[in-house]
């Protein structure tokens, strides 16, 4: 399975997962799944960890102020080259101090490695550790897809009688 997009709506908490699976004939099937079920806390932690890359890639100052005002809402993935090298674009919002609407940001598309043996410019590669942090998000998205989600009590527990 390869994810094409992982997106969490800030207002509704709806999680949308788009992914593809290889078929037996080497073709690909694409799927889209959307749910309002809350993910496990680890999903939100993995999404939160991507904020620093948005600021680094977009060349914003690495201050705590900018970091706390940045919200990653999604990631678009692609896969290329003979080795299906992962590439990604981070989708984020930066809360502005003097405006009631956020600044919407899409980082440039960056790859975890070069698509071919010929190499290329280092500027097309993800910052250090970004691919590992994306893999954590992918693992949490898979857990969500297979039913591991944050969930309250399904049934209310009986209350003890006070004598």
DSSP per residue, 68-133: HTEEEEEEEEEEETTTTEEEEEEEEEE--SS-SSPEEEEPPPEESS-SSTT---GGGBPPTTHHHH
Please give the residue that has the higher pLDDT: either 139 or 117. Answer: 139
Task: Look at residue 65 and tell me whether its pLDDT is greater than 70.
Answer: yes
Closest listed residue to residue 73, CA positions, set 51, 55, 88? 51
| Predicted model pTM | 0.85
| Cross-strand partners of 143 | none
The pLDDT confidence band at residue 158, using thresholds 50, 70 and 90, is low
Query: Strand 85-94 to strand 103-106: parallel, antiparallel, or no bridges (unpaired)?
Result: antiparallel
Coil, strand or helix at 53: helix
150 vs 111 pLDDT, higher one:
111
Split at pLDDT 50, 70, 90, the class of 133 is very high
Q: Quick one: which of 48, 44, 51, 49 has its CA closest to 13?
A: 44
CB 63 within 8 A of CB 76: no
């Amino acid at each position: 399975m390869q994810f094409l997009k992982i997106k969490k709506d800030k207002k509704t908490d709806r999680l949308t997962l788009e992914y593809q699976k290889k078929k037996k004939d080497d073709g690909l099937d694409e799927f889209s799944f959307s749910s309002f079920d809350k993910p496990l806390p680890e999903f939100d932690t993995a999404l939160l960890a991507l904020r620093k890359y948005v600021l680094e890639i977009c060349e914003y100052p690495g201050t705590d102020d900018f970091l706390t005002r940045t919200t990653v809402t999604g990631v678009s993935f692609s896969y290329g080259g003979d080795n299906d090298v992962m590439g990604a674009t981070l989708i984020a919002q930066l809360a502005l101090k003097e405006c009631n609407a956020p600044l919407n940001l899409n980082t440039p598309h960056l790859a975890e490695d070069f698509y071919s043996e010929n190499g290329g410019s280092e500027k097309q590669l993800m910052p250090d550790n970004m691919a590992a942090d994306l893999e954590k998000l992918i693992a949490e998205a898979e857990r969500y897809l297979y039913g591991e989600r944050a969930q309250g009590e399904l049934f209310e527990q009986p209350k003890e009688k006070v004598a």
